Chain A
């Protein structure tokens, strides 16, 4: 066993070990906990960057062992997993910084950061899982490790949200398990990464494969918040801001979407899914979810709830991209995994800042906040324009690629969906921006705090500013060699021209 093949394991272990260490440290040694957390996060970023470099040069990192006869536990770094692993590594670091600032002087921090690291370990496992069985392992671990974060505050409302969350996700998990086990019985333990391997199966199995596909998507659709399985997401908003940020940008919702990508793209293969007649219905469902989420977002008056419905809509762009038969559309979907993560985490960080610094939770209380908190508000504005799809931001790149892909695949109706959705995005984001910058501030904020020389604590301010800058760079530098778009195009071209 050579050292490079151990890298995926190390990437997983950094946060797992961090979690165990943090749990075992007493509540008092807060400084030490933070240090452990940040060192582990930096270490993980380094490991992932190193692996990404290797994957780019066609190195394969894999490590696994047999769990049961015919069932393998497999960690593998391929191009697709690097997208998710990279996102999770970078955002873990930023969110940890943010959470350190956010939770200063609040109780139960050791528990919080312990489960937080565990949650990141799960996303890393999801990213690096080399087959469906391993994916399921970490997918369920994610459910368990996020529950304590959602109910962290222990209020009646938080507990209720936790109950809803657990009900949805565990049911989804059970459905997924049925799909995974059935698939295992039909085709054995298939490894991710060889597109269209199911296409060679006996056509007599195809009917069963169709059913299994529906079961798998239904199971994964819960976390991906596909209509009508999205009900838990808006409720989970009661969680502390860093948790919501992580949940929406990389952890839970993204894990579901990533799972759907793996199933459609790697397991069935886009072309075989099309052959089974399942690609188009999935596309309709995604398109409907996009519009539905946007319309519901428009109706919300609470900032975090509006952002939550916006997530429901945005995640389905990823799935919509997959269903556009052809490399361009697929690339558009894949790149949105990263773009949405970066933009959405910016918005949630900002929402957290408004709540922490000004005590503002509702949109109509935001009047004039731009003057009071310029840094946060600029970041929020960039994130919002990105979501709307204004050039040259990341969201524009996604929508442009998806549009081109739709035309290439002769699916003109998708353009209509993109247009309507952009209009709706504008309709629910522009009023907020208008309030931030062009309305007069009230005489007193609901609960104002002042911290130091910045508009808010430094640790709360810098993470959203950094992610906003990255959002701009993702858009501006989309044509560069290591941009998310080129990476996604590389993956997509392998799928269709191999």
Chain B
């Protein structure tokens, strides 16, 4: 059973990618909806497996490391697998109805979508520096392709820019990996950690290189410039995938590296620098979000700010007590999950709104609250999570991070968290406000089909309710970013 499920997690998406390569967009849609169902079932199956037997390592195809590909299935990985299943299904479902099936280039959407899903799952499960690299590269390439599926000239330009920046990031990461390999001759993260502890060799430079490369790919301030054009120009379901999942992949790797190697190789200075850059991203990203005229650009800049919070992980897990570190890890995990759900909901809802008012401008929303409350409501509920107000997952994340920063005496991060919440309220309420304006003459809107409106609502409700079901999730997380034994 285990073998089948683990293989299914990676090979179902690959199989579907191959099948949809041969089909038109319209036919690919039906096939893909079926595939999503299969993939969700497999993901849930793996989840039940972990609940049942705990965390485990699995050699794919029966080959163990160092020869085969070894998968590490722990609580954190499974949370990400489930998150991916949720967000990708929502975006895929939405895309099937939202994208214009007449455009010839649209047929590339499904294969790219499935390759992306496979690559994401491989990143969540890999415990090996090189496999992580491969997964990351596939993610980048498919993501660039998906942005370009938008079709217009500015989509191509944004995609190209994204590609170039991402390649620079990959280079830095790969250089770090090469240095590690040169030192120890192995790539398994767990083994590297052990060797490092035994030999006391300083790995600060490779670690810093890898983290730097990953930070570029996660659009950490001041390397965030590529993100808003790419996420803003892409078609809405694609933007949801990008902000919700793709940027999280590089952060996930960075977090894994830090928690495995950071104790030995990390330094307080590096941790604080990353924290400060994250804080700057929160402030600057929110400010820019406030200044945007286009709805989707607001949402895209908000991603820059929200990703900033994630980087508080670094200062809050180094040289602090076990309990504080745990709280910080839980908080950051929750922030990833709730942001993915909320941002997915927001982009999809924004897509619906743009479809209705036939304009991407924020000001065009005037009076829309009166005639199109449903998508606006989804947008609003997702906004509650972004602002970190209860009972959303964003609030629970903020609460845990606040506790961690107060308990560790690093109170300045608490101020960043509170200020960040207020800044996000500024740009979220700007949208609400625009929709409440009553003096618009326009009172006829296109009404998108209900099923199109339902998807963002479901995601938004998940993000909103997440804060109330944190306990089961933290239990599943167990020892997050596990320090599991070497197989």
Binds B, one of A2-10, A96-104, A163-171, A199-207: A163-171
Take A153-B438, A154-B436, A185-B403 as given contacts and tell me if A137 and B421 are in contact as well, using a CB distance cutoff of 8 Å.
Answer: no
Residue B249 lies at the interface, judged by CB distance under 8 Å to chain A: no
Residue B66 lies at the interface, judged by CB distance under 8 Å to chain A: no
Residues of A within 8 A of B432 (CB): 147-148
Chain B contact patch, size range: 35 or more
Rounded to whole Å, the gap between the CB of A172 and the closest CB of chain B is 11
Take A151-B433, A154-B439 as given contacts and tell me if A140 and B403 are in contact as well, using a CB distance cutoff of 8 Å.
Answer: no
Contact of B396 among A68, A163, A170, A174 (CB under 8 A): A68
Q: Nearest residue in B to A143 (C-beta to C-beta)?
A: B389
Rounded to whole Å, the gap between the CB of A317 and the closest CB of chain B is 30
**A67 and B467 within 8 A (CB):** yes
Binds A, one of B237-245, B290-298, B468-476, B478-486: B468-476
A152 to B432, CA, bound (A): 12
Residues of B within 8 A of A107 (CB): 370
**A170 and B437 within 8 A (CB):** no
Take A69-B474, A185-B407 as given contacts and tell me if A154 and B399 are in contact as well, using a CB distance cutoff of 8 Å.
Answer: no
**A159 and B399 within 8 A (CB):** no
Residues of B within 8 A of A282 (CB): none
A162 to B429, CA, bound (A): 10
**A155 and B438 within 8 A (CB):** yes
Residues of B within 8 A of A144 (CB): 384, 389
Residue B391 lies at the interface, judged by CB distance under 8 Å to chain A: yes
A177 to B395, CA, bound (A): 10
Q: Which of A140, A143, A155, A184 has the most CB of B within 10 A?
A: A140
**A178 and B402 within 8 A (CB):** yes
Residue A182 lies at the interface, judged by CB distance under 8 Å to chain B: yes
**B436 and A151 within 8 A (CB):** yes
Residues of B within 8 A of A187 (CB): none
Residue B406 lies at the interface, judged by CB distance under 8 Å to chain A: yes
Residue B422 lies at the interface, judged by CB distance under 8 Å to chain A: yes
A152 to B437, CA, bound (A): 9
Residues of B within 8 A of A184 (CB): 403
Q: Which of B355-380 contact A (CB under 8 A)?
A: 369-370, 373, 377
Residues of B within 8 A of A173 (CB): 389
Residue A141 lies at the interface, judged by CB distance under 8 Å to chain B: yes
Rounded to whole Å, the gap between the CB of B376 and the closest CB of chain A is 10
Residues of B within 8 A of A108 (CB): 369-370
Q: Nearest residue in A to B400 (C-beta to C-beta)?
A: A68
Residue A450 lies at the interface, judged by CB distance under 8 Å to chain B: no
**B470 and A67 within 8 A (CB):** yes
Contact of A177 among B402, B436, B467 (CB under 8 A): B402
**A174 and B468 within 8 A (CB):** no
Tell me the number of A-to-B contacts counted with CB atoms below 8 Å.
87
Residues of B within 8 A of A162 (CB): 433, 436
**B407 and A137 within 8 A (CB):** no
**A166 and B425 within 8 A (CB):** yes
Residues of A within 8 A of B421 (CB): 170, 174, 177
Residue B414 lies at the interface, judged by CB distance under 8 Å to chain A: yes
Residue A181 lies at the interface, judged by CB distance under 8 Å to chain B: yes
Contact of A178 among B407, B414, B433, B471 (CB under 8 A): B414
A108 to B419, CA, bound (A): 34
Residues of B within 8 A of A23 (CB): 373, 377
Residues of B within 8 A of A159 (CB): 433, 436-437
Contact of B418 among A141, A166, A174 (CB under 8 A): A174
Residues of A within 8 A of B369 (CB): 108, 111
Q: Nearest residue in B to A186 (C-beta to C-beta)?
A: B406
**A67 and B422 within 8 A (CB):** no
Rounded to whole Å, the gap between the CB of B337 and the closest CB of chain A is 14
A184 to B403, CA, bound (A): 8
Residue A71 lies at the interface, judged by CB distance under 8 Å to chain B: yes
Rounded to whole Å, the gap between the CB of B171 and the closest CB of chain A is 40
Q: Nearest residue in A to B473 (C-beta to C-beta)?
A: A68
A136 to B470, CA, bound (A): 17
Q: Chain B, 382-408, contact with A by CB distance < 8 Å: what is the 0/1 string?
A: 001001011100001011101100110
A314 to B384, CA, bound (A): 33
**A141 and B433 within 8 A (CB):** no
Residues of A within 8 A of B407 (CB): 185
Closest 5 CB pairs of A and B: A154-B438, A137-B390, A181-B402, A174-B418, A140-B389
Q: Which residues of B contact A (CB under 8 A)?
A: 369-370, 373, 377, 384, 387, 389-391, 396, 398-400, 402-403, 406-407, 414, 418-419, 421-422, 425, 429, 432-433, 436-439, 467-468, 470-471, 474
Some 22 contacts from A to B, beta carbons below 8 A apart, are A23-B373, A68-B396, A68-B471, A69-B474, A108-B369, A111-B370, A137-B391, A147-B429, A152-B436, A153-B438, A159-B436, A166-B429, A170-B387, A170-B421, A174-B421, A175-B418, A177-B421, A178-B402, A178-B414, A182-B406, A184-B403, A185-B403
